[in-house]
Amino acid sequence: MYWQPSLLGIAGLAMMVHPIVAQARIYVSVEQAQQLLFPNQRLTKHPIIVTNDLQEKMRVASSIRYPFVGERIWRGHDGSWLIIDEVVGKHEMITYAVGIAPNGSVKGIEILEYVESYGYEVADSQWRQQFIGKTANDPIKLNRDIQNISGATLSSKHLTDGVKRVLILYELALKEASRK
């Protein structure tokens, strides 16, 4: 009896040898996120220095270990803020924007770039709307006040924690600047 390769066998072998590559998907640019979250409003770049103490407080509040970069912050003339941040999805980075209203509540969230092969449902408008109105005083915890997405649990958790960390940043470093 001789072995004869089948088409399925060859395809399966090819899949094992050829890695599955995630393709980056860019949903919106920073400029588009600004227009979506703050239509007809001009924002001014407002970078801050993130001290080790501030970084640690944000880390404790959110469990995000990836360091926050203070260069991607914009301020509106009315005391609103646009903050760009990154968190790890499952393996790759998710870049997102959080719009913060003058009262410190989430105005909206936009996904800028998502690289993972799975979990892209976090970019769905319906899921992101759960954050609107949340402040640093809210729990902002997956399966508590934010619904999980089956099949996107890590992306959901990390984005949820990322929004919490951005709101803590607002409370600790930006809130006072909003009053000036």
* Per-residue pLDDT tens over the stretch 54-88: 999 999 988 888 899 999 999 999 999 999 999 99
Positive or negative: CA dihedral 34, 38, 41, 44: negative
3-class state of residue 38 by DSSP: coil
pLDDT at 153: 94
CA distance to 108, 158, 166, 168, 170, per residue, from 104 (Å): 12, 21, 11, 10, 7
Whether the per-residue pLDDT at 178 is higher than 60: the answer is: yes
Distance CA 111, CA 162 (A): 12
pLDDT at 128: 98
List the chain domain ranges: 23-178
Question: What band does 9 get if pLDDT is binned at 50, 70 and 90?
Answer: low
Residues 6+ apart with CB under 8 A from 136: 61, 104, 164, 167, 168, 170, 171
Task: Give the side-chain half-sphere CA count within 13 A for 90.
Answer: 11
* Per-residue pLDDT tens over the stretch 102-139: 999 999 999 999 998 889 999 999 999 999 999 999 99
Mean pLDDT of the 158-163 span:
97
3-class state of residue 37 by DSSP: helix
Whether the per-residue pLDDT at 166 is higher than 90: the answer is: yes
